[in-house]
């Protein structure tokens, strides 16, 4: 037979168990609601490859074969996150037979192993008898984001914004509407992008060492985008079209022509009078099949230009800082307050290069949110809280997507009241009872 003591012991155990389960469940719900955010400031370098102009020369497809073999060898030594192809995949880009015969048999394994982003080259329009102005065949063979002609994407660590454009809207497809649409898209994309490092890829270059293209292409294209790139803070531009390597720096932007994926290589002519007019002492060029191995570091970009036999023939660095860090937020002290009092609030202040949004969670549930600005306190008033203990957490994000959080524990004490008394304490009343009894008896 269970005694009263046994029953009380059982009730105590059940009550404690229920309390532990309840607290544990509350913590899990809170964690699930808030999610997990990364506030790490550690930057992990990553690598990509840029190359292009892989079209054949007659039936000679050796340029593409050499470059693909080189890339596959490099991937044994380096982790490559993606590849940029600067355009002119094949000779006749509007002819599916060109892809099936010359391109995919060589590059299919590589394209399955790593994401390749393609720019539209002038040969993508070529088709026997007519131009493929809508790039139907090109689109059917690539897996670019967006509309597959011009688009953008962000790097794996969200530190660099990549933009791919189509320069042949001014050449093979002289379509003012498409020119205007791409320009409007570009301006909107730059405006919406808060990543400070920007890399652009398009096929036809603004500067080069082919004298036949100085007036008809280089000088024609420069006014369209160069000043806009400089004003927008573009750090690095990759081009193709000229079948050799060329690197130049103009107004702080690095331009790299990497058209060494073809058997039809061109001989650079830096000493030609037309080229000498814009040639700079630090410019560099050479003729050979090659790829560009790019390592992205916290300081910028480190580029190694490697020819088919694996030799690095040229190196250069692009210094490019960026906002790699989450917002800095202060951490107010925990708060103890009395229920019913006023003037109780948490004040958070944060700093970041690109302030964004904030959300305040009370025990895992969103209770406030909006935009925030540098140095302006985010105030959350506590006066309406009832007796109890609360967890107030703020999560701030910047426009790049970095996040920070802080938590303040709040304890609300019960309302304190002053009770009215009769003037006598309980003990005093007990002492007076005999006197009252005797007094009434005498009466």
| 108-125 pLDDT, tens digit each | 999 999 999 999 999 999
Residue written as token pair 């004003």 = 231
pLDDT score at 42? 75
Pick the closest to residue 271 from 314, 217, 209 (CA basis). Answer: 209
The three-point CA angle 215-173-223 to 5° equals 40
How far apart, in whole angstroms, are the C-alpha atoms of residue 53 and residue 121?
8
The answer on pLDDT for 98 being more than 50 is yes
Three-state DSSP class for residue 108: helix
* pLDDT value for 305: 98
CB atoms within 10 A of CB 1: 3
**Which domains are assigned to the chain?**
46-319 (3.60.21.10), 326-436 (2.60.40.10)
Handedness of CA 139, 168, 318, 211 (dihedral sign): positive
pLDDT band at residue 156 under the 50/70/90 scheme: confident
The answer, yes or no, to whether residue 323 has pLDDT greater than 50, is: yes
Contacts by residues 299-303 (CB-CB < 8 Å, ≥ 24 positions apart): 300/197, 300/235, 301/199, 301/235, 301/236, 303/256
Query: What is the reported pLDDT for 421?
Result: 52
Q: How far apart are CA 416 and CA 109, in angstroms?
A: 76
pLDDT band of residue 439 (cuts 50, 70, 90) is low
Q: What is the rounded CA–CA span in Å between residue 244 and residue 53? A: 9
Average pLDDT rounded to a whole number, residues 361-367: 96
Mean pLDDT for 76-83 is 97
Residue 6 has pLDDT above 50, yes or no: no
pLDDT given at position 353: 80
Give SS3 for 402: coil
Residue pLDDT, tens place only, 193-237: 877 799 999 999 999 999 999 999 999 999 999 999 999 999 999
Structure tokens at 317: 């660095």
Would you say residue 354 has pLDDT above 90?
no
Look at 393 and 159; give whichever has higher pLDDT.
393
Q: Is 220 helix (H, G, I), strand (E, B) or coil?
A: helix
Cβ 88 vs Cβ 56: under 8 Å: no
Does the structure show a pLDDT above 90 at 438?
no
Instruction: Give the span between the Cα atoms of 443 and 441, in whole angstroms.
Output: 5
pLDDT digits (tens, 9 = 90+) for 12-71: 333 433 333 333 333 332 332 344 444 555 788 999 999 999 999 999 999 999 999 999
Confidence of residue 74 (pLDDT cuts 50, 70, 90): very high
């Amino acid at each position: 037979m269970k005694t009263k003591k046994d029953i009380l012991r059982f009730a105590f155990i059940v009550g404690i168990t229920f309390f532990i389960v309840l607290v544990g469940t509350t913590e899990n719900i809170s964690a699930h609601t808030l999610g997990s955010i990364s506030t790490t400031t550690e930057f992990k370098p990553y690598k990509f490859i840029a190359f292009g102009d892989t079209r054949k020369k007659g039936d000679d497809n050796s340029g593409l074969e050499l470059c693909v073999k080189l890339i596959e060898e490099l991937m044994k030594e380096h982790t490559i996150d993606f590849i940029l192809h600067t355009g002119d995949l094949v000779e006749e880009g509007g002819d599916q037979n060109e892809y099936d015969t010359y391109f995919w048999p060589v590059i299919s394994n590589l394209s399955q192993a790593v994401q390749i982003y393609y720019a539209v080259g002038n040969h993508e329009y070529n088709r026997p008898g007519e131009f493929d102005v809508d790039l139907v065949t090109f689109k059917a063979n690539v897996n670019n984001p967006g509309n597959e002609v011009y688009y953008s994407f962000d790097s794996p660590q969200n530190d660099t914004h990549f933009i791919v454009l189509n320069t042949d809207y001014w050449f093979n497809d002289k379509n003012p509407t498409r020119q205007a649409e791409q320009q409007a898209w570009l301006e909107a994309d730059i405006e919406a992008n808060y990543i400070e490092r920007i890399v652009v890829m398009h096929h036809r270059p603004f500067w080069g060492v082919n004298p036949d293209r100085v007036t008809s292409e280089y000088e024609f294209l420069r006014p369209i985008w160069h000043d806009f790139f400089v004003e927008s803070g573009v750090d690095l531009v990759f081009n193709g079209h000229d079948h050799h390597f060329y690197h130049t720096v103009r107004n702080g932007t690095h331009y790299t022509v990497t058209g060494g994926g073809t058997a039809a290589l061109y001989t650079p002519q830096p000493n030609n009078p037309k080229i000498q007019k814009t040639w700079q002492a630090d410019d560099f060029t050479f003729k050979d099949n090659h790829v560009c191995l790019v390592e992205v570091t916290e300081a910028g970009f480190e580029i190694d230009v490697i020819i088919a036999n694996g030799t690095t023939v040229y190196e250069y660095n692009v210094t490019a800082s960026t906002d790699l860090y989450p917002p800095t937020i202060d951490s107010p002290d925990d708060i103890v307050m009395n229920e019913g009092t006023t003037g109780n609030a948490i004040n958070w202040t944060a700093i970041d290069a690109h302030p964004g949004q904030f959300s305040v969670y009370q025990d895992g549930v969103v209770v406030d949110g909006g935009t925030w600005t540098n140095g302006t306190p985010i105030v959350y008033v506590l006066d309406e809280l009832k007796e109890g203990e609360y967890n107030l957490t703020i999560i701030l994000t910047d426009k790049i997507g970095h996040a920070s959080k802080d938590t303040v524990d709040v304890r609300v004490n019960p309302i304190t009241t002053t009770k009215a008394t009769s003037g006598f304490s309980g003990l005093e009343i007990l002492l007076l009872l005999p006197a009252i009894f005797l007094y009434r008896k005498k009466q």
